[in-house]
Amino acid sequence: MKTQECPRCANPARLSKRTFSDQALAALIVWNDLTENLIDESICEDCYSELRDILIERIEEVKAVKPRTFNRAS
């Protein structure tokens, strides 16, 4: 399987689609950990674990973020 450049960190890696809840995405965007144009993009494993760790560490803050609904390609 060939690697591609991750749209988030620009490292060559195997990319795959990650699923986050709308609430989690809203929080990541507010914190500038993810840009809105990347919500429906494939990212690398490193980015995914980084984002996942942020969400776990800041779970109480995630709950406080105003929920949003994102349009995703289905």
How many chain residues bind Zn ion (CB under 5 A)?
Answer: 5
Q: In the set 27, 44, 54, 62, which binds Zn ion (CB under 5 A)?
A: 44
Using an 8 Å Cβ cutoff, are 30 and 68 in contact? no
Alpha-carbon distance 54 to 2, whole Å? Answer: 28
**Residue 45 Cβ, how far from Zn ion at the closest point, in Å?**
8
Q: Between 52 and 63, whose beta carbon lies closer to Zn ion?
A: 52
Q: Between 44 and 62, whose beta carbon lies closer to Zn ion?
A: 44
Q: Does 9 bind Zn ion (CB under 5 A)?
A: yes
Residue range at the interface with Zn ion (CB under 5 A); choices 21-29, 40-48, 53-61, 62-70: 40-48
